[in-house]
Amino acid sequence: MGPNWKTDDDTVAPNPARTHVLRAATLSGILIFLLQSHEAICSAFDCNRDYVILGFGLIVLSAWLYGWKSLAYFLPGILLQAAMEGYSPSEMMSSADGHVLLVTICAPFAFTTMRWAGIDTEIDLSGCRRVWRLILLAGIMASAFALVLRSLLWDLFPTYAISFSIAYPTVLSDIAGLALFMLILIGIFKLIQQSE
């Protein structure tokens, strides 16, 4: 066999493991930044950190793009955030970061149930209005599923019991966070289109 010379025309196949590590590092890093930013904002303005989740939009969009892989991408960030806060397992589950973990599990499940219902959730940006409606519907479902999962965990973590006074502000703040995230993305897309 002769030498395996590499020419300029040869393309290097992407390394899947490296791609997944980069995605995990990027998404986990952005999530930690959003959670820390939210904590700083709530400290400054005396808001309830347990309800408004700035990372909710990021989690739902990542679930739309990457499916169940998004859980693996966010898990390092969630664990690092819990370590930085010094939470015990029960303390974490009763915190906003515990809700982030539940939403990270439930967001891919929301898209999966939509596919089971015959709704096409494939990534297609040609019909942008339809895409945003799908993502918003998935966000509502993910928030509701997270609350159901939270109530199922009541036996394991009694401090994590659910009530109506917890449920409706949580869903409203999740959807507000998702809508804000989508508006920012729409603005970025429009700026890119104008620059082209």
d(CA 55, CA 196) in angstroms, rounded, equals 29
pLDDT digits (tens, 9 = 90+) for 104-135: 999 999 999 998 988 877 766 555 667 788 88
From the centroid of its chain, how far is CA 82?
16
d(CA 34, CA 23) in angstroms, rounded, equals 16
State in Å, rounded, how far the first CA of the chain is from the last one.
49
pLDDT digits (tens, 9 = 90+) for 155-169: 555 555 555 556 677
pLDDT at 122: 77
Between 41 and 163, the more confident residue is 41
d(CA 151, CA 162) in angstroms, rounded, equals 6
Boundaries of every domain in the chain: 18-195
CATH hierarchy code of domain 18-195 = 1.10.1760
d(CA 92, CA 157) in angstroms, rounded, equals 10
d(CA 121, CA 162) in angstroms, rounded, equals 30
d(CA 113, CA 19) in angstroms, rounded, equals 27
pLDDT at 7: 47
pLDDT averaged over every residue in the chain? 77
- CA dist 85 → 36, 73, 88, 92, 128 (Å): 10, 20, 9, 9, 38
17 token code pair:
């493991």
d(CA 114, CA 126) in angstroms, rounded, equals 20
Q: Has residue 9 got a pLDDT over 60? A: no
- Predicted TM-score of the model (pTM): 0.79
Q: Has residue 194 got a pLDDT over 80? A: no
Query: Would you call 52 helix, strand, or coil by DSSP?
Result: coil
- Phi, psi dihedrals of residue 64, rounded to the nearest 5°: -65, -40
Token look-up 């892989």 returns 69
Helices (H), 86-127: 89-93, 96-116
pLDDT digits (tens, 9 = 90+) for 48-96: 665 557 788 889 988 988 989 999 999 998 888 888 877 776 667 667 7
- Phi, psi dihedrals of residue 76, rounded to the nearest 5°: -60, -40
